[in-house]
Chain A
Amino acid sequence: MGWEEMQVRGYAEFVRTAQSYHGRPIFALFCGDKDAEGRSWCPDCVTAEPVVRKELHNLPDESVFIYCLVGDRAYWKDPNNEFRRNLKLTGVPTLLKYGTPQKLVEEECFKAELVRMLFTED
């Protein structure tokens, strides 16, 4: 079995989804909400998403890729939002391997080499 993608919005849905896949490697990309035209308020997320998607085929078998929209800009700017408080996210986009300290933040997500390293190396 290869990998699969789940798309979620908001912290509660993210946590529920991650917990339901407990035991499998979980990778998550956190981005700002998209408008009706499908464009995110977060310009770095717009740049990062295609880079990350291009590397998804490198995901190990059995893994789950959770694409998570965090909320609107105002929600994100709040220093007490749940993503900042509980997941310790400091910026969007953030690409991480759930349950490990391994993550890429902001411009690091633009680099295919680093994304590949996160997906394929221990």
Chain B
Amino acid sequence: SVQAHKEEDNPQKTMEANGLTPVPDSYDYDLIVIGGGSGGLAAAKEAAKYEKKVMVLDFVTPTPQGSSWGLGGTCVNVGCIPKKLMHQAALLGQALQDSRKFGWQFTEEVKHNWMTMTEAVQNYIGSLNWGYRVALRDTKVTYENAYGEFVGPHTIKATNKKGIEKLYTAERFIIATGERPRYLGIPGDKEYCISSDDLFSLPYCPGKTLVVGASYVALECAGFLAGLGLDVTVMVRSILLRGFDQDMANKIGEYMKEHGVNFIREFVPVKVEQVEEGTPGILKVTAKSTTGDQMIEGEYNTVLLAIGRDPCTRKIGLDKVGVNINEKTGKIPVNDEEQTNVPHIYAVGDILQGKLELTPVAIQAGRLLVRRLYAGETTKCDYVNVPTTVFTPLEYGACGYSEETAVEKFGEENIEVYHSHFWPLEWTVPSRDNNKCYAKIICNIQDNERVIGFHVLGPNAGEVTQGFAAAIKCGLTKEQLDSTIGIHPVCAEV
């Protein structure tokens, strides 16, 4: 239950808040976690198992458009979960088309209702938000819907949405504040554009949409919006999916282009104006070429910005407690035990410098950290060979090195790439593309042809990749792979 302390009762807090270092006294909590997302909640629930007194502070600053959400963080509310559900909605649309070739007969024209989908998705998310609150209450973790910031080495100020401030102390802290979408910094961006923070709860169909960006967020959103039947254009400054294997990134882009997504390459928006109000209204976007002086204009119902995400580390009082952050990126450098430069302050999740921004990584890091702190364990989080999947219309699963990074690290002559196109059996009857699905593995010749990179482009890429990630963790070699008999007929047998 919530503890409220008056400052008069606690001279230690008053001293801390005034910049003086008090004699350590008993703290309100063993652990305060700032941020109730994937990493934060995993850490808090784990600490409760060891009967530690834990508090979680979670607060969502509304978007410029006014969107907000409940406990659970980005993944649950405005990331992985709604994304995958909407991706599924789009895949089902494709399946309906395919089904006619398999003999299903229906005469009605098939249309998509954005509100039906969005309400169902939001309802599911609501049940997850509630589930987390029940789980925390049940395990006696104190949860406050309040914005946490450091005011002293062991003291946090928590401000709720009514502006009421409370102070809490703890022996240790875990910062797990995550990130929020970046804006362009051009006229009209905050007034008229939306981000992924708004898209999944948008109370009207976005209509003709311009997606600005070439990140996986941009391509996944563009992909499912197009799959639902909307007119979608993606404006890309330079390359697609920076940081990912570029060979695969280009194949993804090609597929999307052939399936109705328009691409405007090498342009950046400079101005967004409103032509007509409405839900959606009409926006005019002016863009400039990155390679010359050419300017173009276009009109869209919705402009979705997906140009990157910035860590929420600038306004949580880190300067007051001396936690170093990368001034340029806002990310927090930590050692291999997720410890910041201040020994009793730790960090997990997307805000970490040099680590993958993925939910399962944050969860694993959070759990292992807590076990090291309170259960005497020593296992550290293994950030190597973490599998990922991009849920573009043609899904892309990967584990390990991209071809470029492998060449850079081992030298072109020391790696061998084996690859293959494949045609999923399910695509044959409906005459879908026979040369788009693709798989490749990258092997280290000097180490027994150890598989150091796995890439697959095709349906259910995530499901396919998961098992291979385990094999790679065990040191899979090309020979072992060759001697593994395939399951037939599935895509994974390739």
Which residues on A are within 8 Å of B, measured CB to CB? Answer: 100-104, 108, 111, 113-114, 117, 121
17 extra A-B contacts, CB within 8 A, seeds A100-B126, A101-B127: A100-B130, A101-B123, A101-B124, A101-B126, A101-B130, A102-B126, A102-B130, A104-B134, A108-B138, A111-B138, A113-B1, A113-B137, A113-B138, A114-B134, A114-B138, A117-B133, A117-B137
Q: A101-B130, A102-B130 are in contact. Are A114 and B137 (CB under 8 A)?
A: yes
Name the B residues within 8 Å of A108 (CB-CB). 134, 138
Judged by DSSP, the binding face of B is helix
**Which residues of A lie under 8 Å from residue B133 when comparing CB positions?**
117, 121
Q: Which residues of A contact B126 (CB under 8 A)?
A: 100-102
In whole angstroms, what is the CA distance A104 to B138 when docked? 12
- CB neighbours (8 Å) of B137 from chain A are 113-114, 117
- A121: chain B residues at CB < 8 Å are 133
- B1 to chain A: which residues have CB within 8 Å? 113
Q: Which of B213-240 contact A (CB under 8 A)?
A: none
Complex Cα distance, B1 from A101, in Å, reads 23
Interface residues of B (CB under 8 A from A): 1, 123-124, 126-127, 129-130, 133-134, 137-138
Main secondary structure of the interface of A (DSSP, over half): mixed
A to B contact number (C-beta, < 8 Å): 25
A-B contacts, 15 listed (Cβ < 8 Å): A100-B126, A100-B130, A101-B126, A101-B127, A102-B126, A102-B130, A103-B130, A108-B138, A111-B138, A113-B1, A113-B137, A113-B138, A114-B137, A117-B134, A121-B133
Distance in angstroms between the alpha carbons of A103 and B129 in the assembled complex: 12
Among residues of B, the one whose C-beta sits closest to the C-beta of A108 is: B134
In the complex, A103→B131 CA distance in Å?
9
The chain A residue with its CB closest to the CB of B123 is: A101
Chain B residues whose C-beta falls within 8 Å of the C-beta of A100 in the assembled complex: 126, 130
Residues on B with beta carbons closer than 8 Å to the beta carbon of A117: 133-134, 137
CB closest chain-A residue, reference B129? A101
Measured between beta carbons, the chain B residues less than 8 angstroms from A113 are 1, 137-138
Q: Which 8 A-B pairs have the closest CB atoms?
A: A101-B127, A101-B126, A102-B130, A117-B137, A101-B130, A101-B123, A113-B137, A114-B137
A111 to B130, CA, bound (A): 15
Q: In the complex, what's the smallest C-beta–C-beta distance from B110 to chain A, in angstroms? A: 25
* Chain A, Cβ-Cβ closest to B131: A101
Give chain B nearest CB distance to A25 CB in angstroms: 15
What is the minimal beta-carbon distance from A90 to any residue of chain B, in angstroms?
A: 12
Looking at the assembled complex, report how far the CB atom of A97 sits from the nearest CB atom of chain B, in whole angstroms. Answer: 9
**Which residue of chain B lies nearest to A104 when distances are taken between CB atoms in the complex?**
B134
| Shortest distance from the beta carbon of A48 to any chain B beta carbon, whole Å | 15
Q: Which residue of A lies closest to B130 (CB)?
A: A102
Taken together as a complex, chains A and B put the C-alpha atoms of A108 and B1 apart, in Å, by 17
Q: Which residues of B contact A101 (CB under 8 A)?
A: 123-124, 126-127, 129-130
Write the chain B residue with the least CB distance to A117. Answer: B137
Q: Which of B124, B129, B130 has the most CB of A within 10 A?
A: B130
What's the nearest-Cβ distance from chain A to residue B13, in Å?
26
Distance of A111 from chain B, by nearest CB (Å): 7
CB distance from A121 to the nearest CB of B (A): 8
Q: Chain B residue with minimal CB distance to A102?
A: B130
A95, chain B: closest CB distance, angstroms: 12
In Å, the complex CA distance between A101 and B123 comes to 6
Residue of B nearest to A116 (CB): B137
Separation of A36 and B416 alpha carbons in the complex (Å): 79
Among A102, A103, A108, which residue has the most Cβ atoms of chain B within 10 A?
Answer: A102
How far does the alpha carbon of A101 sit from the alpha carbon of B127 in the complex, in Å?
5
What B residues does A102 contact at CB under 8 A?
126, 130
B131 to chain A, nearest CB (A): 9
In the assembled complex, the Cα of A114 lies from the Cα of B138 at a distance in Å of: 7
In this complex, what residue of A is CB-closest to B125? A101
- What is the bound-complex CA distance between A100 and B130, given in angstroms? 10
Q: Say how far B118's CB is from chain A's closest CB, in angstroms.
A: 15
Taking the closest CB of chain A, its distance from the CB of B201, in whole angstroms, is 14
Roughly how many angstroms separate A113 CA and B139 CA in the complex, as a whole number?
11
B126 closest partner in A (C-beta): A101
Cβ of A49 to closest chain B Cβ, rounded Å: 20
Q: State the CA gap A114–B124 with chains docked (Å).
A: 20
Determine the distance from Cα of A117 to Cα of B138 in the docked complex, in whole angstroms.
11
The residues of A that contact B130 with a CB separation of less than 8 Å are 100-103
In the bound complex, residues from chain B placing their C-beta under 8 Å from that of A111 are 138
Bound-state CA distance A122–B394 (Å) is: 40
Q: What residues of chain A lie closer than 8 Å to B134, measured between beta carbons?
A: 104, 108, 114, 117
A34 CA to B330 CA, complexed, in Å? 61
Q: In the complex, A108 Cα to B135 Cα: how many Å?
A: 10
Smallest distance from the beta carbon of B432 to chain A beta carbons, Å?
Answer: 35
Q: By CB atoms of chain B within 10 A, which of A101, A102, A108, A113 has the most?
A: A101
**C-alpha spacing A100/B124, complex, angstroms:** 10
CA distance A85 to B416 in the complex (A): 56
Docked pose: A53 CA to B130 CA in angstroms? 22
| Distance of B134 from chain A, by nearest CB (Å) | 6
Residues on the B chain within 8 Å of A104, using CB:
134
A105 — nearest CB in chain B belongs to which residue? B134
Give bound CA distance, A14 to B138, whole Å: 30
A122 CB, min distance to chain B CBs, angstroms: 9
Whose C-beta in chain A lies nearest to the C-beta of B122? A101
Bound complex: CA A104 to CA B137 (Å): 13
Expressed in whole angstroms, the Cα–Cα distance for A103 and B124 within the complex equals: 13
* Chain B residues closer than 8 Å to A114, beta-carbon distance: 134, 137-138
Closest Cβ neighbor of A111 among chain B residues: B138
